Amino acid sequence: MRSFLDSRGGDVTAAVENLWTSRTYLYRPGVREHTASIVKMVILETLLRQLAERHRQLPGAQAATAQGMIEASDNDDATTLWNDVGGAAGVGAYDRLAGLTQTTPNVAWGLTSTTPLDQIRLLRELAGHPSLLSKGAQLYELGLMSHVEASERWGVSGGVPGGVAVALKNGWLPESGGWQINSVGRIKGDDRDYLIAVMTSGDPSYDYGISTINGVSAIAFRELAERAAGRWGSGVGTAG
């Protein structure tokens, strides 16, 4: 992984958690980046938690908006639900419940700052037990993330063969120093079950950032095959 990343321009930070062993691997931990549209994952988590606290079901209109926000990455839908949950204050309250310590919501939601490790914590709420979300809520959001539009099936799905379940959310944002390109998700199948978050900035182009994340994803998928042979331990590993 380090050899590959040494060959790439831009800034990269990443985290992978093997759910079979609870071992987490970090690359440049603590580096904060702008979320761009991956923040839409936590907007929906916040909404589902708030509805559960009020003993309410997801209304049909909000369900349609949530589908547009996740599957099509519609920004207007995201703004609607961001306002519905209370904006930065509402999302921040959920972040604290989820144990996020390196995330700061921004009133301009795409400029929320975070780290891959905090994104792994959010993914745990969708994949783990115990969770702030019910099993039904987990399956609902992961289902939307499993059906993103074809144009967005890149990033943490890179190098993952057909037949392996991929639930992801991507984000991208042109900034003055280059493109911010991010991808987070859960990969399950072929003797693997893991969470992955990769964030890049300073990319010279949109496609370049995607290529970097695709490469990281392919290496992670290949190397995690070691788990099946029993060569993975427990704890936390850090690189770079």
The pLDDT of 186-213, averaged and rounded, is 97
Domain of 168 in residue numbering reads as 2-239
Q: How sure is the predictor about 237, in pLDDT bands with cuts at 50, 70 and 90?
A: low
Predicted local confidence at residue 19, as pLDDT: 94
Res. 188: pLDDT tops 70: yes
User: In whole angstroms, what is the distance from residue 63 CA to residue 53 CA?
Assistant: 17
Q: Which tokens sit at 106?
A: 């921004």
Task: Name the least confident of 41-55, 166-180, 199-213, 226-240.
Answer: 226-240
**CB neighbour list of residue 205: distance below 8 Å, 6 or more residues apart:** 179
Predicted local confidence at residue 218, as pLDDT: 98
Judge residue 123's burial from the number of C-beta atoms within 10 Å of its C-beta, 0-12 exposed, 13-18 middle, 19 or more buried.
buried
Q: How sure is the predictor about 225, in pLDDT bands with cuts at 50, 70 and 90?
A: confident
Q: What is the pLDDT of residues 120-173, one digit of tens each?
A: 999 999 999 899 999 999 999 999 999 999 999 999 999 999 999 999 999 999
- By the 8 A CB rule, do 141 and 162 touch? no
CB-CB neighbours of 89 under 10 Å: 10
User: In whole angstroms, what is the distance from residue 28 CA to residue 51 CA?
Assistant: 36
Q: How many helices and strands, by DSSP H and E, does the chain display?
A: 8, 8
User: In whole angstroms, what is the distance from residue 75 CA to residue 213 CA?
Assistant: 22
Q: What is the number of structural domains in the chain? A: 1
Q: Which of 30, 27, 12, 1 is nearest to 181 (CA)?
A: 12
Amino acid at 72: A
Phi-psi region of 124 (alpha: psi -120 to 50; beta: other; left: phi over 0): alpha
Predicted local confidence at residue 91, as pLDDT: 98
Q: Which tokens sit at 19?
A: 């759910």
CATH label of the domain that carries residue 134: 3.40.710.10
Q: Which tokens sit at 71?
A: 């599957």
- By the 8 A CB rule, do 195 and 16 touch? yes
Predicted local confidence at residue 226, as pLDDT: 60
Q: What is the pLDDT of residues 37-95, one digit of tens each?
A: 999 999 999 999 999 999 999 999 999 999 999 999 999 999 999 999 999 999 999 99
Task: Please tell me the pTM assigned to this model.
Answer: 0.94
Q: How sure is the predictor about 115, in pLDDT bands with cuts at 50, 70 and 90?
A: very high
Q: Which of 136, 145, 123 is nearest to 195 (CA)?
A: 123
Predicted local confidence at residue 234, as pLDDT: 41
Predicted local confidence at residue 233, as pLDDT: 43
Instruction: Give the three-class secondary structure for 85.
Output: coil
